[in-house]
Amino acid sequence: MSVNTAPVDLYRHGLRLLLDKDIPAWVDLWDENGILEFPFAPEGWPKRLEGKAAVAEYMRGYPDRIDLHDFPYVEIHRSTAPQTIVVEMRGVGRLVATDSPFDMSYIAVVTVRNGLITRYRDYWNPLAVQDPAVDFLGSER
């Protein structure tokens, strides 16, 4: 990706990398000082990750926990700020630990500068994970 990569194109490329389970390449889409936020994270889950290294650590092992199969619904909205997009999407697959279905709807607000993600607010629904004993993202709880 280049410095001139549009936020929409960068985001779609990132989804492909997640489906390909290429987490290092997905992390490479991040600015060194990028911020990943989870405004609806339940107690004990991270609410904010600061820096590319923190994002990499959080995503390390993601394919060992969630086997993503598809994003059957992705709608990307451009905002009045050219570097920021709002994404409505749904990811489906399975939770590896339990072999149970994974079906999550998201809304994300993503800002890209110089071809890299600088801020990503991930509004996922923690209630969609039915079994509280299953730590599907490997977060420290």
Task: Encode pLDDT of 15-34 as tens digits.
Answer: 999 999 999 999 999 999 99
Using alpha carbons only, give the angle 116, 117, 118 rounded to the nearest 5 degrees. 110
CATH node for 7-127? 3.10.450.50
List, for residues 45-101, the tens digit of each pLDDT value: 899 999 999 999 999 989 999 999 999 999 999 999 999 999 999 999 999 998 999
* CB within 8 Å of 17: residues ≥ 6 apart: 23, 25, 26, 29
Q: Is the pTM of this model over 0.85?
A: yes
